[in-house]
Amino acid sequence: MLKYKPSDFNRKAQFGSVQEVPNPYTDSPQRKFVADATLRYAPRTRTMTQQYSLLGTNLEDTIIIVTRHNKVTSNSLVAQLADGKYYDVIGSSPDESNNIITYDIVTLKYNKSIKG
The predicted structure's pLDDT at residue 115: 66
Phi, psi of 3 (to 5 degrees): -130, 120
Is the C-alpha dihedral spanning 1, 62, 46, 17 positive or negative?
negative
Phi, psi of 8 (to 5 degrees): -70, -25
Q: Identify which of 49, 54, 53, 14 has the alpha carbon closest to the alpha carbon of residue 34.
A: 14
Task: Give the separation between CA 75 and CA 82, rounded to whole angstroms.
Answer: 20
One digit per residue, the tens of pLDDT, for the chain of length 116 reads 578 888 999 999 999 988 888 888 888 888 888 898 999 999 988 888 888 888 888 888 899 999 998 888 777 789 999 888 999 999 888 888 888 888 999 999 998 887 66
The predicted structure's pLDDT at residue 40: 95
The predicted structure's pLDDT at residue 95: 82
- Dihedral Cα 58, 112, 51, 67, nearest 10 deg: -100
**Of how many residues is the chain composed?**
116
Q: Which segments of the chain does DSSP mark as H helices, in order?
A: 48-54, 72-75
